[in-house]
Amino acid sequence: MMVRADHLMRPTIVVLCSGQGTNLQAILRAIQTKRLRARVACVISDRADAYALARARQAKVPAHHIDPARFPDRASYERALIALCEQETVRLVCLAGFMRVLSPVFVTHFRNRILNIHPALLPAFPGAHAVRDALRWGVKVTGVTVHFVDEHVDHGPIVLQEAVPIRPGETESQLLTRIHQREHRLYPEAIRWVLAGHTKIVGRSVKKVS
């Protein structure tokens, strides 16, 4: 009973995914190994075939597919997301490969409580093809960014970043694999900082506080 009570008292997060859910798996693993004190209340996907839903069910986490095609517009879809998120007291919404741009309806409701992870050193290479774009530009270094979400794409205040040097002749797939390795370590760490109250947003900066 004490284990169950402790589980319920942990800060609650909701994870939004559209694809494989490898960052979701990293979050679940960090919780399991006690590197992250949190509870994933549920996982939500806009795609029925997202493997992230299977990962959630395997971890005995409620998994929901909310089909955007069932709603007349983006605002009504996002209100459905909000309603599901708020079935429990949600401390943080974590985007993990969620491939929909959130409107002010959702962002305003969860202001400064939404995190996203992006496979580049923002503000360089925003958008859906960051790894491909970095290789096409011929840059020598790319990386990973965890940031708060605002009304603009890949734009909010940055919590953590880590550089990933690009190796000569590296393919997009090879680089993405190495970036994912950094993501899986950095995202749980950023979530831990935010949930523990170790971050303070000052303008466009995120200050680490004790």
Q: How many CA atoms lie within 13 A of 135 on its CB side?
A: 15
Clarify whether 64 is annotated catalytic.
no
Contact 96, 122 (CB under 8 A): no
Cis geometry, peptide bond prior to residue 123 (ω within 30 degrees of 0): yes
Which helix (H) or strand (E) element contains residue 38?
none
Nearest of 96, 66, 105 to residue 188 by alpha carbon? 96
Closest C-alpha among 82, 83, 93, 104 to residue 148: 93
Catalytic residue among 65, 118, 129, 147: 118
At residue 187, φ and ψ (nearest 5 deg) are: -65, -50
Is residue 95 within 8 A of residue 16, CB to CB? The reply is yes
**Cα three-residue angle 166-168-173, rounded to 5 degrees:** 60
**Pairing verdict, β 141-148 and 158-165:** antiparallel
Residues paired with residue 65 on neighbouring β-strands, in sequence order: 45
Structure token digits, residue 127: 């958008």
* Catalytic residue numbers, as ranges: 118
